[in-house]
A and B are shown apart, each in its own frame.
Chain A
């Protein structure tokens, strides 16, 4: 076993992070092998040195007062999760789910179930061609624009109300 692996195992043993089998193995090696014993003793000393002598630095005497001075007039901000508007997330989810369901329903209505079972011809996928001219005429565009304007105004109103509450 390499010296580095041996040290890793001994550190695990000293820190108390080794598994039971590993602990038994290290104990056995320390008892039987002089190199393991010497390394264990050395690392244990280093561990003791660190535990007993590592110092924590002190900031200036006015440190806590400076922090408290800077906090004057400040309040804890609302939790980040409150910033996420669940209504928007739900609306997006509803839009996508209804689109998928809509396309599926439309696709299934185009399938001629009786014809595919009766003939020997290979199955033909239904034509999914959509007449977009129906959707992109002036009336539909006007309705969509109006809908967006109304939704925009609603969100602006909600945003301004929330800001007024905070103040």
Chain B
């Protein structure tokens, strides 16, 4: 069996027996997702990459604490979430203020971009991802975990440390905000998409 075909638990068992090399499979498997979550909180790619690296290092160091009763990815996303929040605290940036500054800054960029670009260039993918970038980091992360992280509402609740019902409410609000952002900043694309 190829190493990349091993399950997370098999890999962890091998690492705990002393085979550090196979940890690279875990890193490769989750690096994009962890990096994307970090990028929602950090202002630039360098900080996000450092946060993502620290997540994998911390996960490796604490591997003995992973009990295996939840998915490894759920446990890993709990670590990245905690590190991101610590990062924000260290930078003395409150999430609320980031939301507003970041959103207005990005909104201006999007508007400028919209004027310059032709309709063909503005793909659906770009529209969705640009709209997500306009959301507060917590909402963007929630959507990412739900749609791309293969995490159930219960698992997201574990990651965020809240009740599953609250996750449901937050998810609803995040999608509502996304819809508003799309209508506000990408009305032309939304129209194109509906009529296509």
CA distance A58 to B36 in the complex (A): 7
CB distance from A149 to the nearest CB of B (A): 35
Interface residue tally on B, bucketed by range: 35 or more
Task: Give how many A residues have a beta carbon under 8 Å from the other chain's beta carbons.
Answer: 35
The answer, yes or no, to whether A53 is at the interface (CB within 8 Å) is yes
Q: Which of B30-62 contact A (CB under 8 A)?
A: 31-33, 35-36, 39, 45, 48-49, 52-53, 56-57, 60-62
Q: Are A74 and B53 in contact (CB under 8 A)?
A: no
Q: Which 7 pairs of residues, A with B, have the shortest CB-CB distance?
A: A79-B64, A76-B63, A53-B128, A59-B35, A64-B27, A57-B36, A53-B125
The answer, yes or no, to whether B148 is at the interface (CB within 8 Å) is yes
Interface string of B15-38 (1 = CB under 8 A from A): 110001101100110011101100
CB distance from B187 to the nearest CB of A (A): 14
Q: Are B49 and A78 in contact (CB under 8 A)?
A: no
What residues make up the interface of A, taking CB atoms closer than 8 Å to B? Answer: 4, 7-8, 11-12, 15, 17, 43, 45-46, 49-60, 63-64, 66-68, 70-71, 74, 76-80
Q: Are B32 and A50 in contact (CB under 8 A)?
A: no
CA distance A102 to B148 in the complex (A): 61
CA distance A79 to B12 in the complex (A): 14
CB within 8 Å for A49 and B53 given contacts A7-B172, A64-B31, A76-B61: no
